[in-house]
Chains A and B, each alone.
Chain A
Amino acid sequence: MAPLIEARDLTKKYGAHVALDRANLKVEAGRIVGLIGPNGAGKTSALRAILGLTNYEGHLTVLGREPFRDRTELMNECCFIADVAVLPSWLRVDQAIDFVAAVHPRFRRDRATAFLAKTQITGKRRMRELSKGMKTQVHLALTMAIDAKLLVLDEPTLGLDILARRSFYDALVNDYMDETRTILITTHQVEEVENLLTDIVFIDKGRIVLDTSLEDVATRFIAVAVTADRLEAARAEKPFYERHILGKVVLYFENVDSAKLSAFGELHTPSVADLFVAKLSGDAA
């Protein structure tokens, strides 16, 4: 099967600034992919391009379509939440449901109302009267009632407190995700999404620096807490990053035999956040 999203040499320039620099990316169906990168790395530009919100250079197909040219058709099968604050303040909850139900062929009204029935939100409320967490719930109700093949979330929990964030992700995993769907998500809160992701993509300075499944992370990357006396020997195996904490040194290795490394100290699989820091600082050094 062709990948759901395929980008080759995807480039986006804003004047002299290159936001995406020949980025390559493949996303297969049924995955939950985290697109992770520092501020200004090109995350938002990549999502904008994938959603057809901006034009670009290079090759890009999403669900077999060219997003910028075919955005209208693409949105029949794909939906996105680009942070929570985008529902217009004058819109009433019932109007929002009526509108989406009327214009979206894959919207299931019963699902949206069932989701909202579990909340305190009533139909006559306007968005400006709702708290940020409630707005998220409305937006989520609208989005999850759409039978989309691809859901894109851009910093979906920005500005939400921890309770609202937690319930957002719980609803996403429990009520929405199944094997027919694919989710692409960007966030700063890596720890929060780590255990729901199946794949991670690191982006830095407009380039994709890592694109792997989490299963592969375990075999590919090893972190070793090395004591000082073994440090030189361990360094000979060419770690790509070193981290000094509390008198210990943690070395990060890629594609090095774990049997060899176990001689230097305790092995563990790095967390996504650690790997992110290691990969980005290490490659920069």
Chain B
Amino acid sequence: MNTDFWLIRREFWENRAIWLIPAVFGGLLTVAALFGRVDIPTLSPGDHSQEASGIFLVAIGGMFYLVMSLYAGWYLLDCLYTDRKDRSILFWKSLPISDAKTVLSKLLVGMVLIPLVYFVAADVTALITAFILSIRARASIGSALWQPGVWGQIQILWMYVIVTTAVWYLPVAGWLLLVSAWAKRAVILWSILPPLVLYLIERVFFGTRVIGHVLSGRLVGLPAVAYKGWTNGGNVNFDGHAPANVWHFIDAGGFFSNVQTWIGVVVGILLIVAAIQLRMRRSEI
């Protein structure tokens, strides 16, 4: 337990970008809120304020989610490779820490802790910018953007997003870790090339698109599996008339009973086990 804590601490020492990027991004959004053009239509109390608040919070969260996905992907792809590149793997391996623990600590950071950091940053940014915009748009905070009920629901939604993202993208994370433990150089290229080549081979020689379908389904298929009403309509629908209710939107039962979810988990575990095996055997670039 103690070792686990310090392994995670080490990741935050090494990768200061984990919190620097969301801090800077949040700062930029705050500056934009302070000095940007304000185009919020004046809202009368009780009008569409809940809807406006929901859209605002989801928009902020969505932007952070996008940045987080890119950074977390890069982190997972780079973390094991960098130890071999700077040869510090020989130092880490001189300590009584198993390779499984090391790899799993990086997985935990990439799939849970980095999203949590972004979640906190998104929350803080949303609060600050909502406050600023409310004042600048001359709408009272209480009626327009500051809706405690909606804000509370967004917290639930965020937690759900973090959990489903971590589960759904486990095979992607496993693949990135595997490449990171294996590649001698050009980790980005190696992470993209093999799936692409498989896809092209299938297209050219068999004329089918099974692999492409599986890959794209994994990469962009999460909303359809995890949220209600995504497939028919495709709109994030916070109902403006009824009180916006995130529980109408979250489909946890559907997500966790979907066979795709569990196929992904199994593939993810296999890839992570392979990454650990490579970490045990490869210490050179």
The answer on a CB contact under 8 Å between A91 and B13 is yes
B98 / chain A contacts, CB cutoff of 8 Å: 71-72
Residue B14 lies at the interface, judged by CB distance under 8 Å to chain A: yes
Residue B87 lies at the interface, judged by CB distance under 8 Å to chain A: yes
Bound Cα distance from A162 to B47, whole angstroms: 80
The answer on a CB contact under 8 Å between B94 and A75 is yes
Q: How many residues of B contact A (CB 8 A)?
A: 26
The answer on a CB contact under 8 Å between A75 and B13 is no
Complex: chain A residue closest to B14, CB-CB = A90
Residue B184 lies at the interface, judged by CB distance under 8 Å to chain A: no
A74 / chain B contacts, CB cutoff of 8 Å: 96
Residue A85 lies at the interface, judged by CB distance under 8 Å to chain B: yes
Residue A89 lies at the interface, judged by CB distance under 8 Å to chain B: yes
Closest chain A CB from B198 CB (angstroms): 25
The answer on a CB contact under 8 Å between A99 and B96 is no
A71 / chain B contacts, CB cutoff of 8 Å: 93, 98-99, 280
Residue A184 lies at the interface, judged by CB distance under 8 Å to chain B: no
| In-complex Cβ contact of A104 among B14, B95, B99, B283 (8 A) | B95
The answer on a CB contact under 8 Å between B281 and A100 is no
B88 / chain A contacts, CB cutoff of 8 Å: 86-88, 91
| In-complex Cβ contact of B13 among A55, A83, A90 (8 A) | A90
The answer on a CB contact under 8 Å between B6 and A55 is no
| In-complex Cβ contact of B96 among A75, A88, A91, A143 (8 A) | A75
Residue B2 lies at the interface, judged by CB distance under 8 Å to chain A: yes
Closest chain A CB from B282 CB (angstroms): 9
A90 / chain B contacts, CB cutoff of 8 Å: 13-14
With A88-B14, A103-B6 as known contacts, state yes or no: A53 contacts B93, CB within 8 Å: yes
Bound Cα distance from A139 to B93, whole angstroms: 14
The answer on a CB contact under 8 Å between B94 and A102 is no
B91 / chain A contacts, CB cutoff of 8 Å: 86-88, 139
A214 / chain B contacts, CB cutoff of 8 Å: none
The answer on a CB contact under 8 Å between B283 and A103 is no
A20-52, CB under 8 A of B: which get 1 and which 0? Answer: 000000000000000000000000000010010
Residue A93 lies at the interface, judged by CB distance under 8 Å to chain B: no
Residue A105 lies at the interface, judged by CB distance under 8 Å to chain B: yes
With A88-B14, A99-B6 as known contacts, state yes or no: A72 contacts B97, CB within 8 Å: yes
A271 / chain B contacts, CB cutoff of 8 Å: none
The answer on a CB contact under 8 Å between A102 and B96 is no
The answer on a CB contact under 8 Å between A53 and B13 is no
Residue B248 lies at the interface, judged by CB distance under 8 Å to chain A: no
Residue B90 lies at the interface, judged by CB distance under 8 Å to chain A: yes
Residue A193 lies at the interface, judged by CB distance under 8 Å to chain B: no
With A53-B283, A86-B88, A88-B86 as known contacts, state yes or no: A72 contacts B96, CB within 8 Å: yes
Closest chain B CB from A218 CB (angstroms): 35
Residue B3 lies at the interface, judged by CB distance under 8 Å to chain A: yes
Closest chain B CB from A83 CB (angstroms): 8
The answer on a CB contact under 8 Å between B94 and A79 is yes
Residue B10 lies at the interface, judged by CB distance under 8 Å to chain A: yes
A143 / chain B contacts, CB cutoff of 8 Å: 94
